[in-house]
């Protein structure tokens, strides 16, 4: 396997899982949207005290947001993982930054979790649930840290791998034998 690809493999894998999740969710909407809608209707009927008239539409929107954030964020993160591969980041930093970018896959799962919990707990409780908040924090935090590392490298030269040329400039390379 290509060396650069090997360095970003875990992050890339997470991003692709996120993309696949979004695509499968969209396919499920297309083939059987009623599964989602029935789940909402039944949950609201069983727990009507925590709902108002807006609940059916709002909760259905949570499921849609899980779908389009999964595909949208994965596309965005995939581009950044490629940028990591072509960047001058140190090998270890390539692995770390792509892993952070891969964690963005957790963000759409926060919307999915809200969709799952809202019919029984109510929208507010699902929104502020510890699992929702943890998934959102990991996803957004990972995406931001990954962005900072790769953009910091591209635009500011942070965490740059030491090349032969830079070693020579710094005078750290062993003197070459005089061949003349
Ligand atoms: C980590 C990055 C992101 C965060 C934290 C985020 C957060 C949010 C939030 C909180 C909302 C709901 C706003 C509301 O309640 O009115 C929202 C809506 C939306 N987001 Fe994102 N978003 C992110 C990335 C993206 C990306 C990459 C895309 C698409 C490429 C996207 C597309 C949308 C769209 C289309 C809506 C409107 C949803 C609606 O009308 O129900 N988001 N986003």
From first to last of its 180 residues, the chain has per-residue pLDDT tens of 788 999 999 999 999 999 999 999 999 999 999 999 999 999 999 999 999 999 999 999 999 999 999 999 999 999 999 999 999 999 999 999 999 999 999 999 999 999 999 999 999 999 999 999 999 999 999 999 999 999 999 999 999 988 766 666 655 554 555 544
CA distances to 44, 75, 83, 139, 145 from 23, in Å: 27, 12, 23, 18, 25
69 closest CA partner among 112, 132, 31:
112
The upper half-sphere exposure of residue 68, i.e. CA atoms within 13 Å in the direction of its Cβ, equals: 5
- Measure 121 CA to ligand 1 centroid, in angstroms: 23
* Cα 35 to middle of ligand 1, angstroms: 24
pLDDT of residue 180: 46
pTM above 0.75, yes or no: yes
* Atom 31 of ligand 1, nearest CA residue: 69
Of residues 92, 129, 108, 112, the one with CA closest to residue 14: 108
pLDDT given for residue 21 in this prediction: 98
**pLDDT score recorded for residue 98:** 98
Q: Where are the domains of the chain?
A: 3-170
From the list 59, 72, 75, the residue with the least C-alpha distance to 112 is 59
Q: Which of 19, 59, 63, 69 to mutate to test the pocket of ligand 1 (most atoms within 8 A of CB)?
A: 69
């Amino acid at each position: 396997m290509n060396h650069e690809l090997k360095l970003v493999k875990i992050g890339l894998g997470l991003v692709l899982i996120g993309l696949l999740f979004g695509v499968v969710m969209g396919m499920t909407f297309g083939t059987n949207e009623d599964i989602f809608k029935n789940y909402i209707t039944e949950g609201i009927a069983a727990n009507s005290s925590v709902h108002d008239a807006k609940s059916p539409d709002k909760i259905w929107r949570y499921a849609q947001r899980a779908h389009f954030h999964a595909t949208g964020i994965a596309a965005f993160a995939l581009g950044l993982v490629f940028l990591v591969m072509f960047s001058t980041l140190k090998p270890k930093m390539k692995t770390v930054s792509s892993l952070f970018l891969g964690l963005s896959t957790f963000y759409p799962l926060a919307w999915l979790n809200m969709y799952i919990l809202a019919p029984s707990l109510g929208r507010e409780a699902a929104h502020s649930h510890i699992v929702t908040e943890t998934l959102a924090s990991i996803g957004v935090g990972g995406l931001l840290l990954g962005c900072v590392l790769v953009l910091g490298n591209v635009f500011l030269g942070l965490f740059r791998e030491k090349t032969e040329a830079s070693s020579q400039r710094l005078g750290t390379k062993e003197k070459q034998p005089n061949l003349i």
